[in-house]
A and B are shown apart, each in its own frame.
Chain A
Amino acid sequence: EAGVAQSPRYKIIEKRQSVAFWCNPISGHATLYWYQQILGQGPKLLIQFQNNGVVDDSQLPKDRFSAERLKGVDSTLKIQPAKLEDSAVYLCASSAAQKGRDEAFFGQGTRLTVV
C-alpha cells in the first residue's frame, strides 16, 4: 500500500512570494490533515478535512494560508504572501477515521525556508 505522498520535499522562497504544497493521501482515507512543524516544536494542526469538507481550521492563518481538498482526495496548501516565520516543515497526514481509534499516517513533509 502506497503511503502519503507530498511534494516538493524542499522549497526556498523569498518573503512575500507565494508557495503551494501538494499531498496525495493513502487511498480510501477520509480524513486529511495539514500540520506545521517549526524546528524544536511539535506538529501544529493547520487544517483538517473529512472527505472534501473542512472540520477544523481554527489555527490556519486565513489571511495568508488557504487549503483545498479536490474531490475528497488530493489536497493543496498555499501560502500567499509568505513571511519569515512561515519557515517550517509542512506535514500532510491521512487516516481512515472509521471509528476514531485509528492512527494518522504521515508523509515525509515539505521543508519550507523563507528568506
Chain B
Amino acid sequence: DQQVKQNSPSLSVQEGRISILNCDYTNSMFDYFLWYKKYPAEGPTFLISISSIKDKNEDGRFTVFLNKSAKHLSLHIVPSQPGDSAVYFCAAKKTQGAQKLVFGQGTRLTINP
C-alpha cells in the first residue's frame, strides 16, 4: 500500500526555468508534509515542509503547495540551477500518535545547462 506516490521517476529542466515536482498521498490523516533532496552516496537532506493548515510555504527559490482536497502537493524550484540536480523525495506524517514518516518513490531531477 503506497500511501505517498511520486508518479514521475524523472524530470529534466533547463537551467533558469521552473522545476515542478509532484506528489500525491492517500492517507487523509497525514497533516505534515516534507520534501527531501538526495545526492548520490549521501543521506536525504531536509529541504522544505508544510503543515496541513497552510496551502503554501516559501523558502528562497523553493515553494511547496498543498491541495488537501486533491491530496496533492508540489514543489516548485525557480530558477532551477545545476546544483539542484538530485533525487527529490516527498514524505508525509501524522503529527499525533506514532508520527511515522512515509516516503514516496522519488523523482530524479536533472537540470541542463
Question: Which A residues form the contact surface with B (CB < 8 A)?
Answer: 4, 31, 33, 35, 40-45, 48, 55-56, 91, 93, 97, 99-101, 103-109
Contacts and interface: CB of A to CB of B under 8 A. Distances in A.
Given A4-B43, A106-B43, A43 B89 contact: yes
A100 B43 contact: no
25 contacts: A33-B101, A40-B105, A42-B4, A42-B105, A43-B89, A44-B103, A45-B102, A48-B99, A48-B100, A55-B98, A55-B99, A55-B100, A56-B100, A91-B43, A93-B101, A97-B99, A99-B95, A100-B32, A100-B95, A106-B36, A106-B43, A106-B44, A107-B43, A109-B42, A109-B43
Interface residue tally on B, bucketed by range = 20 to 34
Given A40-B105, A109-B42, 13 more contacts: A4-B43, A35-B103, A42-B4, A42-B6, A42-B89, A43-B103, A48-B99, A55-B100, A93-B101, A97-B99, A100-B96, A100-B99, A104-B101
